Amino acid sequence: MRGPFKKVPPELWRSYQWQIQNRIKTKEELSRYIRLTPEEEQGIERTAGLYPMAITPYYLSLMNLEDPEDPIRLQAVPRKVEVEEDVQSLGEPDPFREEGPIPGLTHRYPDRVLFTVTTFCAVYCRHCMRKRIFQEGERSRSKEEIDRFVAYLKEEEEVREVLLSGGEPLSLGNEKLRYLLSRIREVRHVEIIRIGTRLPVLAPQRFFEEELLEILEEHSPVWINTHFNHPAEITEESAEAVDRLLRHGIPVNNQTVLLRGVNDDPQVMLRLMRELLKIKVRPVYLFHCDPVKGAIHFRTSIEKGLEIMDYLRGRIAGMGVPTYAVDLPGGKGKVPLLPEYLVGKSGSTYTFRSPLGGLVEYTLEVS
């Protein structure tokens, strides 16, 4: 493993700071490692300032450097299609109307609030649903902004869960993170804190830091939702990151996004779900790709998602089957989708399609 970074000493390679400081951000730097296609060269040039590029050496090391269609490369290297108006005009910068009453706050469900704490990310994923914030530069919420958020929380007594997102919330320094979590914990009606982080995938070295793990554990119950999209992202390092979180009592769940060219293949998805269970990560969601401007070329049909769900059922434990969901535009919520299993009914006899093949009649008298 480690590809072109074999010579980096382990103490640097295992340092999150080193991974962040050595991110690949320019065409010239990236050309040292891969031969860019014209589509990518123009992509990097034309997305500059709009949807910038940053790739950790670790994430780059997961690529097959010879393959322009490599699933890691598709998620990390800009392409010209991101700014092609005829393709992207179907998308909107913010299809979910996320901007709420306070900067960074979205309060869509009565019991849960979403708070985006920074625009910084270790890697700027090309399919990001919040691509609109890339151009704001790398900025984190100030203590004053956190205080305003906490004041809002204190007034909203129905809220049981705070969902921290970004950007990358765990890119906050330890001091800021401790401040944020301890202020949230002052609010008695908040039961759980959920952190949406992609660092287990993009820079798992962050979790090799004992202090971070202790901060998370101190503010328990904290749940982690991460974002593995392809089996190639499951490595010794990402498994170690998850293992360290679990040892500190922090459950790790996963949300995958269905992406054309990356994982829109039933066998790839089955391998991903199996590999997740092996590292004790529970696959919770498979999201249909959102109509986000700049990322719309990753979308597949809904039929493709249903085909994948149908393939998974019966081939992996139930706990390895995520819920396939579409986030409705306009902030109208996430809806689950399932292939049809109940295919007919006559009197009290129901006809089911079995995941093992064939139809089964089931007569069910309800008293």
Angle ∠(215,286,114) on CA atoms, nearest 5: 45
Given candidates 24, 34, 163, 308, which one binds ligand PLP under the rule CB under 6 A?
Answer: 163
Q: Is 254 helix (H, G, I), strand (E, B) or coil?
A: strand
| Binding flags for ligand PLP, 327-346, as an x/- string (CB under 6 A) | -------x------------
Q: Which is nearer to ligand PLP, 223 or 350 (CB)?
A: 223
CA distance 164 to 117: 7
Which of 14, 334, 350, 353 is flagged as catalytic?
334
Which of 27, 51, 121, 206 is flagged as catalytic?
121
At closest approach, how far in Å is the CB of 96 from ligand PLP? 6
Cα distances from 169 to residues 75, 100, 117, 234, in angstroms, run: 20, 18, 6, 21
Q: Which is nearer to ligand PLP, 112 or 185 (CB)?
A: 112
For position 160 contacting ligand PLP by CB under 6 A, the verdict is no
At closest approach, how far in Å is the CB of 38 from ligand PLP? 37
At closest approach, how far in Å is the CB of 141 from ligand PLP? 17
Which of 33, 109, 179, 311 is flagged as catalytic?
109
Phi/psi of residue 62, each to 5°?
Answer: -85, -10
At closest approach, how far in Å is the CB of 208 from ligand PLP? 27
Q: Is 121 a catalytic residue?
A: yes
Pairing of strands 349-353, 359-363: antiparallel
Q: Which is nearer to ligand PLP, 93 or 314 (CB)?
A: 93
Which of 51, 79, 125, 152 is flagged as catalytic?
125
CA distance 273 to 267: 10
Which of 112, 183, 185, 313 is flagged as catalytic?
112
Burial (Cβ within 10 Å: 0-12, 13-18, ≥19) of residue 76: buried
CA distance 79 to 351: 48
Given candidates 19, 61, 75, 106, which one binds ligand PLP under the rule CB under 6 A?
Answer: 106
At closest approach, how far in Å is the CB of 214 from ligand PLP? 26
For position 112 contacting ligand PLP by CB under 6 A, the verdict is yes
Given candidates 60, 74, 114, 259, which one binds ligand PLP under the rule CB under 6 A?
Answer: 114
Q: Is 289 a catalytic residue?
A: no
What are the strands, taking DSSP E only, across the chain? Answer: 105-109, 112-116, 161-165, 192-196, 222-226, 252-257, 282-287, 323-328, 333-337, 342-346, 349-353, 359-363
Answer yes or no: are the C-beta atoms of 130 and 86 closer than 8 Å.
no
Phi/psi of residue 259, each to 5°?
Answer: -130, 125
Expressed in percent and rounded to 5, the helix, strand and coil fractions of the chain are: 40, 20, 40
Q: Which is nearer to ligand PLP, 108 or 148 (CB)?
A: 108
Residues taking part in catalysis: 108-109, 112, 121, 125, 128, 130, 290, 327, 334
Interface positions with ligand PLP (CB under 6 A): 106, 108-109, 112, 114, 163, 334
